[in-house]
Amino acid sequence: MRPLLAHVYGLVHIWEPDGNSERVRLLAAGKTAKSVGDRGVVAQGPPATRSRLTNGTTLLPGIDGRSDEARHYKDTYRGMIGHLGGDDAVTLPQMLVARRIAAFETDLLHLEARHVAQRVEGVEPSVSEIDLRSRLANTQRRLIESVGLERVARDVTPALHRLIDPRAEDVGDE
């Protein structure tokens, strides 16, 4: 019996019957992974089959990316991805946490600017606004601690074929 292949939400699912039991196998780059029982194994499809949010093309759907807030959000997000080792090293949960950190940073920047402007005018920010800023900052800190405060170094070791012949063409994993 042939394996059943399905593309769901840009992910490749392969169900391969194995005797009397159904076992789920992952097929990625011509390799099969070990079965994980009834839970299934899922691989990401090529970027063209994933949503713009997942592949990083769009960070904020429906938002003009030219606004100061959108640019600050994007800069913070890209900085967090770099902090975590770059696009190739970051996992989906890390990407999601980086998005939240960027959102909190944008909100906090807006609140802090408003508080400073109020104080310049001689007005004290309300207790509820100070409380909100403090809770947002604390939540952001916890998110940052969850992915780590220490920067993750990217592996920049050249491939063996580059050391042997620097003019050699790059051979990418496809």
pLDDT in tens, 138-148: 999 999 999 99
Residues 56 and 45 in one domain: no
Domain check: are 107 and 127 in the same one? yes
- What is the residue range of 85's domain? 52-147
pLDDT of residue 155: 73
Which of 161 and 47 is assigned the larger pLDDT? 161
Whole-angstrom distance, CA of residue 60 vs CA of residue 70 = 8
- 26 and 56 fall within a common domain: no
Q: How many domains does the chain have?
A: 2
Q: Which pLDDT does position 145 carry in this prediction?
A: 95
64 and 136 housed in the same domain: yes
Check whether residue 43 and residue 76 sit in a common domain.
no
pTM of the model: 0.61
Q: Does any domain span residue 170?
A: no
Domain check: are 33 and 97 in the same one? no
- Please compute the mean of the pLDDT values over residues 33-58 and round it to a whole number: 57
Question: Which one is predicted more confidently, 164 or 52?
Answer: 164
Average pLDDT, the chain: 75
Note whether residue 87 is domain-resident: yes
